[in-house]
Copies of this chain bind each other. A is one copy, B any other.
Amino acid sequence: MDLHLDPSSGLPAYRQLAAALAGEIRAGRLAVGARLPSERDMAESLKLSRTTVTAAFRELESQGLVRGHVGRGTVVLAQDLAASPDGLPWRQRASRLATPPDTRGPRPAEGADLIAFADGWLHPELHPRAQIAEALAAAQQDMSGLLAPAPILGLPILREGLARMLGARGVEVRPDEILVTGGAQQGLNVVARALISPGDAVLVESPTWHGAIRAFRAAGAEAAGVPMDREGVDPDALEDALIRLRPKLVYLIPSFHCPTGRVMGLERRRQVLALCAKFRTPVLESDVYGDIAIDGPRPPSLKSLDTAGLVIHQGSASKTVGSSLRIGWLAAPPGAMELLAAAKANLDLSSPTLPQAVLAEFLQAGALSGHLARFTAALRRRRDAMAQALARDCPALTFQAPEGGLYIWARLPPQASAADLQARAAALGLSIRAGDVFFPEGGQDRHIRLCFAAPHADRIAEGVARLGRALDEAMGAGGPAASGAGYAAV
């Protein structure tokens, strides 16, 4: 071993010695299991103090390179830890309930090179920008209020506004029956944390929102899919699953369902509630899209039809007012509120005050109904533009234009693969969402979800034209596009 220390380097001697020894270990000149010279021998041979050598050995130990054994001296360790620039092999340390990492990084913003149909975000022109700016200005009148942490359930003035809003939609709840959450996604986790134990079953529509599948799985649940027909979840299949799986929860998106856009009929809603009442099973209703009624009146929520106190109702400002606020809410039977509040406190104590104050002022100013009228009118034009372009440029796709929500759900011809089409579209500057993530049982490769709210309105036709070219390629190719190209499926 040939160690050079440089007294003029300015580094403490123990650090220099540790670095020199670490270099020997990393280069393999000190093999795993090799014993370092004793501290005394090394101090003598290098003309260093014993303290310096002791400190150097401890430094190596803290780097996981060596380990001191009483009576055996200091031994070089296996290098799995030290050899990696990251230290630990983190992926091997992942929870077995962890979601597969999402390596997309920041969500792709639409730009010159990309038309975005993939994700359920609103194009900036759909935001009620002026009214939000006014609400923000109003909220600032009370800086003390903005600096005070909100209660666990959420800012009282927001819950009062939400209770009024829900009342106008047939959902009669008091402000203390509402819990403000970090978007609907956190609401899913609040309910899961309150009600789900590892090994429990949760019934979901198949397909359904993939974030729900992931939230339930992270709580240790089996998310079991129940098939749908045009009217929503199939009642016979639901009853069978309620009997077979004894689920702790049924999660449904009855209005403008994601990803299919379907609306559960009124009679079906009553049937489904009766089944869940019969089996004493709570229902988590996602009504995130209920206000986005493009063609007709808003469908009645399950909560407004619930006479048995079964339904936890979920809403969100993300798909209507703006997703940057990250505000959702749960409206629940009184007996469920303490469980939900405890879960929320456990997750993040409470939501930030400022966005809640902005949404509260927005509601108080009566800005919602006017915004929704403009918003759904703009979405009607977008949906029609996408549907017409699809009929023209993608005749091989099968779809039904939805009466509300943000998505067209389209079925591919038998010879095409959705994953392949997604990759080909990405290569042409179009993001779409292959449908397999929405199926709890997986293994589906025949659908794509297209969001008509995310792109600029003037680029919908061009996006669909790109999709048509990608589809032509996919159908002509007979094989998948080069894998790894473009936008990753998540």
Residues of A within 8 A of B (CB): 58-59, 61-64, 67, 77, 80-82, 84-91, 93-103, 105-107, 109, 121, 124, 127, 129, 132-133, 136, 140, 143-144, 146-153, 156, 181-183, 185-186, 189, 192-198, 211, 214-215, 218-220, 248, 270-271, 273-274, 277-278, 280, 282, 305-310, 322-327, 333-336, 338-339, 341-343, 345-355, 358
Decide if B121 touches A147 in the complex (CB within 8 Å). no
Other-chain contact of A91, B218, B339, B354 (Cβ < 8 Å):
B339
Contact call B326/A350, Cβ cutoff below 8 A: yes
B347 touches A347 (CB 8 A): yes
Please tell me if the beta carbons of A349 and B326 are within 8 angstroms of each other in the complex.
yes
In the complex, are the beta carbons of B214 and A346 less than 8 A apart? yes
8 residue pairs A–B, Cβ–Cβ below 8 Å: A58-B270, A62-B274, A62-B307, A81-B309, A94-B194, A148-B324, A326-B353, A352-B355
A211 & B324 in contact (Cβ 8 Å cutoff): no
Give the chain B neighbours of A214 by CB distance below 8 A.
346
Q: How far is the CA of A327 from the CA of B353 in the complex (A)?
A: 11
| List of B residues within 8 angstroms of A144 by Cβ | 124
| Distance between Cα atoms of A277 and B87 in the complex (Å) | 9
Partner of A307, one of B59, B103, B143, B335: B59
Q: Are B339 and A101 in contact (CB under 8 A)?
A: yes
In the complex, the answer to whether A97 meets B198 with C-beta atoms within 8 Å is yes
Which of B93, B147, B306, B338 contacts A322 (CB under 8 A)?
Answer: B147
- Tell me how far the C-beta of A269 lies from the nearest C-beta in chain B, rounded to whole angstroms: 9
**Chain B: minimal CB distance from A69 (Å):** 11
Partner of A270, one of B62, B105, B192, B347: B62
Minimum C-beta distance from A281 to chain B (A): 8
A346 touches B282 (CB 8 A): no
Query: Which of A149, A310, A351 has the most C-beta atoms of chain B within 10 angstroms of its own C-beta?
Result: A149
Whether B149 lies near A348 (C-beta < 8 A) is: no
Closest beta carbon of chain B to A390's beta carbon, Å = 27
A282-B88 contact, Cβ under 8 Å, with A195-B94, A195-B95: yes
**A189-B124 contact, Cβ under 8 Å, with A101-B342, A310-B88, A335-B86:** no
A115 to B: closest C-beta gap in Å = 17
> Does B129 contact A133, Cβ atoms closer than 8 Å?
no
Taking a contact as CB atoms under 8 Å apart, the answer to whether A63 and B308 are in contact is yes
A121 to chain B, nearest CB (A): 6
Q: Find chain B residues with CB under 8 A from A308 CB.
A: 62-64, 81-82, 87-88
**A82 and chain B: residue at smallest CB distance:** B308
Per the bound structure, the CA–CA distance linking A309 and B64 in Å amounts to 10
Q: A136 — which chain B residues lie within 8 A by C-beta?
A: 140, 146, 354
- Which chain B residues lie closer than 8 Å to A334 at the CB level? 85-86
Q: Which of B80, B86, B98, B342 meets A100, CB within 8 Å?
A: B342
Counting from the closest, the 6 A-B pairs by CB-CB distance are A87-B309, A86-B335, A106-B151, A64-B277, A101-B338, A62-B274
Given contacts A136-B140, A183-B348, A189-B346, 16 further A-B contacts (CB under 8 A): A63-B307, A64-B277, A84-B309, A90-B335, A90-B339, A94-B195, A98-B339, A107-B149, A132-B147, A182-B351, A186-B348, A193-B218, A211-B349, A324-B354, A326-B351, A347-B347
Please report the C-alpha to C-alpha distance between residue A248 and residue B98 in the assembled complex, in whole angstroms. Answer: 14
Instruction: For the complex formed, measure the closest distance between the CB of A236 and the CB atoms of chain B, giving whole angstroms.
Output: 13
Chain B residues, CB < 8 A from A215: 346
> A349-B326, A353-B324 are known contacts. Are A87 and B333 too (CB-CB below 8 A)?
yes
